């Protein structure tokens, strides 16, 4: 237990002192801000034209200027952007040990390797949840600033529930990113894989196999009206569990030469 506490202390301090989570936070604010801008342009086309803003494009992008439309668009965008942000955070927490060559500091200490991995997973999950909360809060703040009509309690509640569901599904898949960061000994490969997964997910979605592909399940979970079947949920949980087991096994068994 002391080992786990020590590992948590180390990981929390490292994450707090790192710039990456803060930069990812700024990056994750962009979707609601950009969509809010489009809404504002659509709402005030004359003012926007005076400032030389793209009114025609904004008209193509959005329908009505109201909370349900705005939150629906944010949900769709954040499904993908949030997933990449989660992947970057996880890749960083695991991959930095190789990039900074600090991996060997963690090894051959009384703190078990499994404790280190659990602490890393826990800290990465905390960052991801904070990020999700931040993205939701930013969306509501942007919507309020733009002054959109039609916000009702059920809409706000459903939006938070959808975002929470998407965040939890992405968290469940996080160990796969951790595994790729460990095996790939760095953070570039898992980030590349996350981007590639997004592209593959689009293809799988088009073929109708989305409910069987865990990353498609997570992407669509943020979209209003999407029903996730028990089988899809089980696939996501199984993928995450296998990722976690493989990550732990890799750290326990493989040669650590970095």
Partner 1 sequence: MSELVVRTVGLSKRYRGGVLALDRAELRIERAEIYGFLGLNGAGKTTAIRMLLGMISPTAGHAELFGRRVHAEATGLWRRVGHLVESAAAYPGLTVRENLEVARRLQDARDRSAVDRAIEKLGLGEYAGRPARTLSLGNLQRLALARTMLHDPELLILDEPANGLDPAGVVEIRELLRTLSRERGTTVLMSSHILTEVDRLATRIGIVHRGRMIEEQSADELEQRRNRRLNIGARDLGAAGAALRKAGFDPQPARDADPPLLELREPRALDAPDSVAKLLVEAGVPPTHLAVAQEDLEQHFMRLTADAEPRNA
- The residues binding partner 1 (CB under 8 A) are 2-3, 5-7, 9-10, 13-14, 17-19, 100-102, 104-113, 252-253, 255-257
Q: Shortest Cβ distance from residue 54 to partner 1 (Å)?
A: 40
Q: Where are the alpha helices (DSSP H) in the chain?
A: 2-17, 20-43, 45-50, 55-61, 67-99, 103-106, 113-146, 153-183, 188-207, 214-220, 230-253
Residue 176 phi/psi, 5-degree rounding, is: -65, -40
- For partner 1, give the closer residue by CB, 9 or 212: 9
- For partner 1, give the closer residue by CB, 60 or 108: 108
Q: Are 179 and 243 in contact (CB under 8 A)?
A: yes
- For partner 1, give the closer residue by CB, 227 or 253: 253
Q: Shortest Cβ distance from residue 3 to partner 1 (Å)?
A: 7
- For partner 1, give the closer residue by CB, 49 or 109: 109
Q: Are 79 and 220 in contact (CB under 8 A)?
A: yes
Q: Are 48 and 55 in contact (CB under 8 A)?
A: yes
Q: Are 79 and 28 in contact (CB under 8 A)?
A: no
Q: Shortest Cβ distance from residue 244 to partner 1 (Å)?
A: 18
Q: Shortest Cβ distance from residue 178 to partner 1 (Å)?
A: 18
Q: Shortest Cβ distance from residue 119 to partner 1 (Å)?
A: 10
- For partner 1, give the closer residue by CB, 102 or 224: 102
């Amino acid at each position: 237990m002391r080992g786990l506490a020590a590992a948590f202390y180390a990981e929390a301090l490292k994450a707090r002192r790192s710039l990456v989570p803060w930069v990812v936070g700024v990056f994750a604010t962009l979707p609601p801000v950009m969509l809010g801008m489009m809404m504002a342009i659509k709402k005030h086309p004359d003012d926007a034209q005076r400032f030389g803003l793209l009114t025609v494009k904004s008209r193509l992008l959005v329908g009505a200027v109201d909370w349900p439309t705005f939150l629906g668009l944010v949900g769709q965008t954040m499904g993908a952007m949030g997933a990449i942000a989660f992947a970057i955070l996880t890749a960083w927490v695991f991959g930095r040990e190789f990039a900074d060559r600090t991996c060997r500091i963690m090894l051959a200490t009384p703190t078990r390797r499994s404790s280190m991995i659990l602490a890393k997973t826990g800290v990465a999950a905390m960052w991801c949840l904070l990020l999700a909360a931040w993205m939701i809060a930013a969306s509501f703040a942007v919507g309020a600033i733009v002054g959109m009509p039609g916000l009702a309690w059920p809409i706000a509640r459903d939006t938070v529930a959808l975002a929470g569901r998407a965040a939890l599904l992405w968290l469940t898949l996080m160990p796969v990113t951790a595994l790729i960061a460990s095996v790939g000994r760095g953070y570039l490969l898992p980030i590349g894989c996350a981007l590639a997964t997004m592209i593959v997910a689009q293809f799988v979605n088009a073929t109708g196999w989305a409910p069987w592909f865990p990353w498609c399940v997570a992407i669509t979970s943020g979209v209003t009206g999407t029903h996730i079947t028990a089988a899809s949920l089980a696939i996501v949980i199984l993928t995450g569990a296998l990722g976690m087991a493989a990550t732990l096994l890799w750290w326990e068994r493989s040669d650590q030469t970095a």
